[in-house]
Amino acid sequence: MNNSEVRAFLTSRRAKVTPEQAGIPAYGSRRVAGLRRGEVAALAGVSVEYYTRLERGNLAGVSDSVLNAVARALRLDETETEHLYHLARAAGPTPARARVRRDSAPEIRPSVRRMLDSMTAPAFLRNHRFDILAVNPLGRALYAPVFAANPAALPVNSMRFTFLNPHAQAFYPDWAQIARSAVAALRMAAAQHPDDQHLMNLIGELSMRSEPFRGWWAAQDVYVHRHGSKRFRHPAIGELDLDFEALALTGDRALTVVTYSAEPGTPSGDGLELLATWAATQQSTATVQRRGSPR
């Protein structure tokens, strides 16, 4: 557990709450942004010394009631409160066997692959590191720029594409918004899987190679991809405004199916139909090329 993560998160959330928001009279000039430590402690019903210990990163053994009180004092939303709980759990001892399981590659059940292949919407399976582990034909067609370097290769990491691929900003018209939420989702994953060295290596790589990633990582924001909408600028189809659902597989730890759809009859709905035709054409062309290649 990295105490600096706890310290940076709590400090950043404290700086976002004004005395007016907390119902505290503000007199004179203030040397700190947001609330003082003593004010948070009073709102949470703990001593200043105890809250100071928490903000310095020592969450080991903290009760749920104290975590809830701190979350209320800092006006954390549901996702931020969940993140605080992940940080607290990570402060406790983690069995060695659990660490091994977290780092090991998950096995994709045949039924999950069949489910993906049977879906008529673009869909893929990812893990908590945002590696795309499996994808159906329409999902591969939608994410064609992500797979462009090696269309047959899996896994492909969507975070590396977003921050390190020069085509990412053209593919995502709302790149800054998507990239920032991606960083916040990765921070959430890091708190849930603090002993995953592969995940830490990914974060380190992105921090070194992407200045926007570094800046947004320092903001300490957290986010969970559950559902929403996303705009794409597909190189063959044009703009698509799609709704997404992120469906966690309860039988497979840290695996999520992401699927996209659009209202039928809308420009994006028509675009998905065109994408299906384009994908079938691409697949047919690839099959002919494989059959015609020398053996």
Query: Where does the pLDDT of residue 97 fall: very low under 50, low under 70, confident under 90, or very high at 90 and above?
Result: very low
Rounded distance between C-alpha atoms, residue 52 and residue 32, angstroms = 15
Q: What pLDDT does residue 92 have? A: 67
Report which residue type is found at 288.
V
If you average pLDDT over residues 148-168, what whole number do you get?
89
Query: Which of 25-29, 159-163, 213-217, 250-254 shows the lowest mean pLDDT across its residues?
Result: 25-29
Half-sphere exposure of 89 toward its Cβ, with a 13 Å CA cutoff? 13
Chain mean position to CA 212: 16
Asked whether 188 and 79 are in contact (CB, 8 A), the reply is yes
Query: Mean pLDDT over residues 204-212, rounded?
Result: 96
Tokens of residue 163, six digits: 């921050």
Mean pLDDT in residue range 8-13: 92
Model-level pTM? 0.84
On average, the pLDDT of the chain sits at: 88
| Closest CA relative to residue 139, chosen from 292, 272, 281, 4 | 272
Give residue 89's pLDDT: 86
For residues 105 and 238, which has the higher predicted lDDT (pLDDT)? 238
Q: What are 210-232's pLDDT values in tens digits?
A: 999 999 999 999 998 899 999 99
- Chain-centroid distance of CA 147 in Å reads 20
pLDDT (mean) for 89-117: 69
3-state class of 31 per DSSP? coil
Domains of the chain, start order: 3-93 (1.10.260), 110-292 (3.30.450.180)
**What are the structure tokens assigned to 111, written together?**
């039924």
DSSP letters for 198-265: HHHHHHHHHHHH-HHHHHHHHTT-----SEEEEEEEETTTEEEEEEEEEEE-TTSTT-EEEEEE--TT
Please, is 100 exposed, middle or buried when counting C-beta atoms within 10 Å of its C-beta (0-12, 13-18, 19+)? exposed
* pLDDT over threshold 80, residue 295: no
How much is the average pLDDT of 37-53? 93
Instruction: Give residue 207's pLDDT.
Output: 96
